[in-house]
Amino acid sequence: MCSARWVGLLTVLVTGLGVVSPLTSQDTRVNRDLQESQRRLDSIRTERGRLRMEQLRLEGRVKDVGAELRNIERQRESTHRIVNEIENQIGSLNTHLGQVSAELVLAQDNLAQKRAVLQRRLVDIYKRGPLYAFQALLAAESFGDLLSRYKYLFTTSQQDRALLRDVETLRDRVIVQRNDLLLIHSDLDRSRTEREAEMSRYEQLMRERARQLRRLQRTGRSTEQRLTELERDERALNNLITRLRTAAARGAPAPGG
């Protein structure tokens, strides 16, 4: 009778183990799936937080680089206007310089003519001898004629010298004016060269900033796309965790995850 009682007890225990064991294994798998899903969810949230910060940083950099690009563009446009103004000044200066050069040629021609006239008179005097002027005076028939001859010789001599001085003064003034214009022209040429080099630097900076802005925008789009993917994965994991918790609470088989 005792043996029968032990056999009955063992039968109950074995039957109980056969019922409890599958349930315990199922709960373990659900808990394991929950832990794995939670770990993946935490990882997604960590990466999403990091990408959010990166996205904010990229947006700030895009704004900064965009502002730099616009500022460089304004500086380049300003320099371009300066170059155009210098070109206009050089054009006007070239016109004025051409006029002054023509005046200088005329002054030099006039001076050459006056010198030639004076030279011919000197040659005539030389041919007639150094006493020609005294002879002309001595040939006067009266005192009045003597005064007239003297006045004529003196006036002619003074006029020749005065005219020669006037022409030389005009020539020198034109030369100074032309040299001043040439100096201004040289300064404008140098300023134009400097501004053109400055404009080239701005254009190079614009190209660099434009490339940098495109890189940042591409990175921003990639970051935004990755964030969208993470948000989708997070929603899917949240749904899975909800189903797993419901299954664990009901003791039902774990859903496929």
Token couple for 96 = 């004025």
Question: Does residue 255 come out as left (phi exceeding 0), alpha (psi in the -120 to 50 range) or beta?
Answer: beta
Token couple for 161 = 């010298």
For residue 130, the one-letter residue type is: P
Rounded to two decimals, the pTM is 0.60
φ, ψ of residue 142 in degrees (nearest 5): -150, 170
Which pLDDT value is given to residue 32? 84
Which pLDDT value is given to residue 142? 57
Please check the confidence at residue 10 and state whether its pLDDT lies above 70. no
Name the more confident of 244 and 248.
244
Average pLDDT over residues 226-252: 86
Name the more confident of 229 and 134.
229
* Residues found in the chain: 257
Q: Find out whether 1 and 201 touch, Cβ atoms under 8 Å.
A: no
Please check the confidence at residue 11 and state whether its pLDDT lies above 50. no
Which pLDDT value is given to residue 108? 83
Q: Find out whether 231 and 14 touch, Cβ atoms under 8 Å.
A: no
For residue 199, give the nearest of 64, 91, 82, 65 by alpha carbon. Answer: 82
For residue 167, give the nearest of 128, 115, 210 by alpha carbon. Answer: 115
Name the more confident of 37 and 158.
37
Instruction: Please report, for residues 109, 214, 238, the alpha-carbon distance to residue 202 in angstroms, rounded to integers and kept in the order given.
Output: 50, 18, 52
Instruction: Please state, in angstroms and rounded to a whole number, the distance separating the CA atoms of residues 226 and 54.
Output: 12
Average pLDDT over residues 100-120: 80
Among 99-113, 114-128, 168-182, 216-230, which stretch is predicted with the lowest mean pLDDT?
114-128
User: How many C-alpha atoms does 40 have within 13 Å on its Cβ side?
Assistant: 17
Spacing of C-alpha 76 from chain mean position:
5
pLDDT single digits (tens) 122-149: 555 544 444 444 455 555 555 555 455 5
The residue ranges of every structural domain in the chain are 38-250
Average pLDDT over residues 188-201: 92
Instruction: Kindly write down the DSSP assignment for every residue of 171-232, as one continuous string.
Output: HHHHHHHHHHHHHHHHHHHHHHHHHHHHHHHHHHHHHHHHHHHHHHHHHHHHHHHHHHHHHH
Name the more confident of 151 and 35.
35
Token couple for 12 = 């109950």
Q: Which of 23-32, 89-98, 139-148, 248-257 has the highest mean pLDDT?
A: 89-98
pLDDT single digits (tens) 50-106: 999 999 999 999 999 999 999 999 999 999 999 999 999 999 988 888 888 888 888
Q: Model confidence at 116, in pLDDT bands (50, 70, 90)?
A: confident
Q: Find out whether 178 and 101 touch, Cβ atoms under 8 Å.
A: yes
Average pLDDT over residues 162-187: 85
Which CATH number, 3.40.50.300, 3.30.9.10, 1.20.120.1200, 1.10.287.950, labels domain 38-250? 1.10.287.950
For residue 108, the one-letter residue type is: Q
Please check the confidence at residue 1 and state whether its pLDDT lies above 60. no
Tokens 């005219």 belong to residue: 163
